[in-house]
């Protein structure tokens, strides 16, 4: 933190922080319930490219520049609402903190907060990048006995098994997924977590559930890509579909808990990190992030060790 505005409490100059894209307004029923990601004032501000505290603070030659995701942190400096700055405990590397601020809280929270994963339960995570690998670890910490990692990438399936998945498979293998579907009515999975914005993956996440099983949807499909769900099976088997956004819990509470699990060796986060890029290489970093190889690319600002995940 380089400077604070008048009336700011809880953060101070010189403090290390990680950034949250769900600060909330702090006053609405959703914020009072500990779910600022549902704050409508925040969502409207995000859509306007502003902050929850007012208009965008960024301009170029006098012309306002929209602030992305209430943060605008793909830059050397950023102005954010105080509620977006989460104090970072000592001993946490900045690159680990960076991925906790998005991929990790999203995946871990989907498994640990969005639904009740019971000890001894059976489930699958569809899409095993940074979000999916965090969901796998969250499910195992909740006591899941079986976690199937489903991803087209053999490398990511291997990473998922090293992080706690009990088995893995290629969701594009129709023979493999057909077997899961055929067994669903009598021996389906208790839960699934779908981390990719693919209608095919989302349909699979529902189809392989047991009766009264729950599918958690984390990935976002394009607006013009509807997902077809078999309503006869959904109703007859009383399956459930749950949306999960940014961990389903107040980041002020959940982020420090995740960091403490990491500090105690119960969450493996270093392995989620991938290639480093300078801030000027952001476009190359995004290309790398879409390649489905390696870990989460990290941007570094030369000289001070500040990092951003892509």
Contact 306, 94 (CB under 8 A): yes
Q: Describe the crossing of helices 130-141 and 154-162 by its angle, rounded to 10 degrees.
A: 30
- With vertex at residue 95, the alpha carbon angle to CA 51 and CA 196, rounded to the nearest 5 degrees, is 70
pTM, rounded to two decimals: 0.93
Report d(CA 132, CA 33) in Å as an integer: 26
How confident is the prediction along the chain (310 residues), in pLDDT tens digits per residue?
999 999 898 899 999 999 999 999 999 999 999 999 999 999 999 999 999 999 999 999 999 999 999 999 888 899 999 999 999 999 999 999 999 999 999 999 999 999 999 999 999 999 999 999 999 999 999 999 999 999 999 999 999 999 999 999 999 999 999 999 999 999 999 999 999 999 999 999 999 999 999 999 999 988 888 889 999 999 999 999 999 999 999 999 999 999 999 999 999 999 999 999 999 999 999 999 888 777 899 998 876 556 555 5
Which residue stretches of 100-237 are H helix?
A: 105-112, 130-141, 154-162, 174-187, 199-207, 231-236
Contact 255, 105 (CB under 8 A): yes
**pLDDT recorded at residue 291:** 81
Distances (CA, A) of 193 to 33, 89, 114, 162, 269: 24, 30, 10, 18, 19
Report d(CA 88, CA 266) in Å as an integer: 18
Tell me the helices (H) and strands (E) count for the chain, helix number first: 11, 13
**pLDDT recorded at residue 10:** 87
Q: Which DSSP category does 202 fall into?
A: H
CA 57 from chain center: how many Å?
A: 26
Report d(CA 307, CA 301) in Å as an integer: 7
């Amino acid at each position: 933190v380089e400077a604070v505005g008048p009336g700011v409490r809880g953060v101070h100059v010189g403090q290390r922080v990680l950034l949250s894209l769900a600060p909330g307004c702090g006053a609405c029923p959703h914020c009072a319930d500990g779910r600022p990601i549902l704050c409508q004032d925040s969502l409207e501000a995000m859509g306007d490219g502003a902050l929850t505290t007012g208009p965008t603070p960024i301009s170029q030659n006098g012309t306002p520049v929209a602030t992305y995701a209430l943060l605008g942190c793909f830059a050397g400096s950023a102005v954010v609402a105080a509620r977006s700055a989460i104090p970072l405990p000592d001993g946490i590397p900045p690159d680990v903190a960076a991925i906790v601020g998005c991929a990790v809280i999203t995946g871990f929270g989907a498994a640990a907060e969005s639904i009740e994963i019971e000890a001894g339960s059976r489930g699958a995570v569809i899409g095993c990048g940074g979000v999916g690998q965090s969901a796998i670890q969250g499910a195992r910490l909740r006591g899941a006995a079986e976690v199937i990692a489903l991803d087209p990438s053999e490398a990511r399936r291997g990473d998922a098994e090293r992080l706690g998945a009990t088995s893995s498979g290629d969701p594009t293998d129709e023979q493999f997924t057909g077997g899961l579907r055929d067994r669903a009515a009598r021996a389906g999975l208790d839960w699934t977590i779908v981390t990719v914005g693919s209608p095919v993956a989302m349909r699979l996440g529902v189809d392989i559930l047991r009766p009264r099983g729950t599918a958690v949807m984390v990935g976002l499909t394009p607006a013009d890509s509807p997902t077809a769900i078999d309503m006869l099976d959904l109703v007859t088997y009383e399956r459930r579909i749950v949306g999960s956004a940014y961990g389903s819990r107040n980041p002020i509470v959940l982020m420090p808990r995740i960091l403490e699990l990491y500090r105690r060796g119960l969450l493996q986060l270093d392995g989620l990190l991938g290639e480093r890029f300078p801030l000027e290489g952001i476009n190359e970093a995004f290309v790398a992030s879409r390649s489905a190889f390696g870990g989460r690319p990290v941007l570094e600002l030369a000289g001070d060790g500040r990092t951003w995940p892509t």
